[in-house]
Amino acid sequence: MTIYFLAGEASGDTHGAALMNAIRNMQADVQFVGRGGPKMTEVAGGGVRNWIHEAAVVGLWEVVRRYGFFREQFAAVLREIDETKPHAVLLIDYPGFNLRLARALRKRGVKARIIYYISPQVWAWNRGRIPQMAKSLDLMLCIFPFEAGLYNASGLRTMFVGHPIAESLGPRRMDGPREPDLVGLFPGSRLREVRLILPIMLETAATMLRSKPDLRFEIAAASDALAAEIKALIDQPAHFTITTGEAHSLMQRAFVGIVASGSATLEAAFFRLPFVLVYRVSWLTYLAARAVVKVKHLGMPNVLAGREIVPEFIQHRAKPLSIAAATLRLLHDEPARDAMFRAFAEVIAKLAETNASATAAKAILHEIDAR
């Protein structure tokens, strides 16, 4: 059995690797091919190309600038699928590329089952695309409980498999008290994000230091390359420590955090880190998104809660003075911290306690057998 995987971001690489392991536990004679990141490449043992550092971009303008690259890669992926003739094509998140790929594969009449894992958040920005997705996909595997009903109602066969956060992060829980003067900074996992968001975080840190000089700041870098970029942006190294690959540890040691929007917000909620959310993109991307986004909140903890449990500072609202004030409040205001803890518990409880990767693996193998 051959399955072609395609993930284009670090979070997709993590989920893809877990899914590969779960499939292999159920069916030993399976070959994985495709594209992902270092974790998927390691599990696959060859056949999966690590292209995350090239593929992970954020924002409309950034995609437009690299249109030629993505056009070439799109054609190359189609050739790879033609050559490997997989039993299934497993698309993980990365909707700008993967939804277009699903349509192209359907038009070409490929015999492989086309399965999407970790559904794109079209419920937030374009629900009108769901009927088109139903024509391109054989099965959608979603990780948020409210998504299955929405997709099924539009004719897209969908299964809620649970969120992989509990299985992936549960073993990483640490015991021990938090460090009362430590602030964790999480500027994102992509270079463009770091360049736009970290300067805001550094200005916020400088503001906080003026009122509380004994604070320490630790910055989570997703890779050595990003660590080097972060180091170059810091002009007060005495107050900052950079760690690579230690984000989950930092989320459990820091007393408060400032987190870029993305998968890290749910991870911070899982580890009960009181935090504020910050995000900034190019203005072209922001204006395009503002025209289509239909939800009130950006962070998934807030989306799942149906209210703002984590303060959000987006684009022009991402001002260091405001962010510093909200972060300092979480540092000193025990009732505010307790309220956030309670809200986090409610949010995480909404995500199934089942093993999401195993449930998804079983659904994928059943879909291939049905073929």
* Domain architecture of the chain: domains with CATH: 2-163+354-370 (3.40.50.2000), 170-349 (3.40.50.2000)
> What integer pLDDT is reported at residue 111 of this predicted model?
92
H or E stretch at 87: none
Alpha helix segments (H runs only) across the chain: 10-26, 38-44, 52-55, 60-65, 67-84, 95-107, 122-125, 130-136, 145-153, 165-169, 191-211, 224-233, 247-253, 263-270, 283-292, 300-305, 320-332, 334-349, 356-370
Burial call 5-26: b when 16+ CB within 10 Å, e when fewer = bbbbbbbbbbbbbbbbebbbee
Q: Please give the single-letter amino acid code of residue 138.
A: D
d(C-alpha 340, C-alpha 330), whole Å: 9
d(C-alpha 43, C-alpha 26), whole Å: 15
d(C-alpha 56, C-alpha 200), whole Å: 22
**Digitized pLDDT (tens) for each residue of the chain, 371 residues in all:** 999 999 998 889 999 999 999 999 999 999 999 999 999 999 998 899 999 888 766 555 566 677 788 899 999 999 999 999 999 999 999 888 999 999 999 999 999 999 999 987 665 555 566 778 889 999 999 998 888 888 888 888 999 998 888 788 887 889 889 999 999 999 998 888 899 999 999 999 999 999 999 999 999 998 898 999 999 999 877 889 999 989 999 999 999 999 998 889 999 999 999 999 998 876 566 555 555 455 677 788 998 898 999 999 988 889 999 999 999 999 999 999 999 999 999 999 888 667 899 999 999 999 999 87
d(C-alpha 28, C-alpha 358), whole Å: 14
- Structural tokens at position 147: 């998504």
> What integer pLDDT is reported at residue 61 of this predicted model?
56
Q: Identify the CA nearest to 117 among candidates 215, 218, 34.
A: 34
> What integer pLDDT is reported at residue 95 of this predicted model?
87
The answer to whether the CB of 91 falls within 8 A of the CB of 105 is no
Residue 88 in 3-state DSSP?
Answer: strand
> What integer pLDDT is reported at residue 123 of this predicted model?
58
User: Which residues have C-beta within 8 Å of that of residue 43, sequence separation ≥ 6?
Assistant: 17, 20, 21, 24, 32
CB atoms near residue 135 (< 10 Å):
12
The answer to whether the CB of 247 falls within 8 A of the CB of 275 is no
The answer to whether the CB of 98 falls within 8 A of the CB of 92 is yes
- Structural tokens at position 161: 């498999």
- Structural tokens at position 363: 């659904």
Q: Identify the CA nearest to 310 among candidates 325, 297, 321.
A: 297
> What integer pLDDT is reported at residue 287 of this predicted model?
59
The answer to whether the CB of 6 falls within 8 A of the CB of 50 is no
Q: Please give the single-letter amino acid code of residue 132.
A: Q
> What integer pLDDT is reported at residue 170 of this predicted model?
81
- Structural tokens at position 95: 């909707």
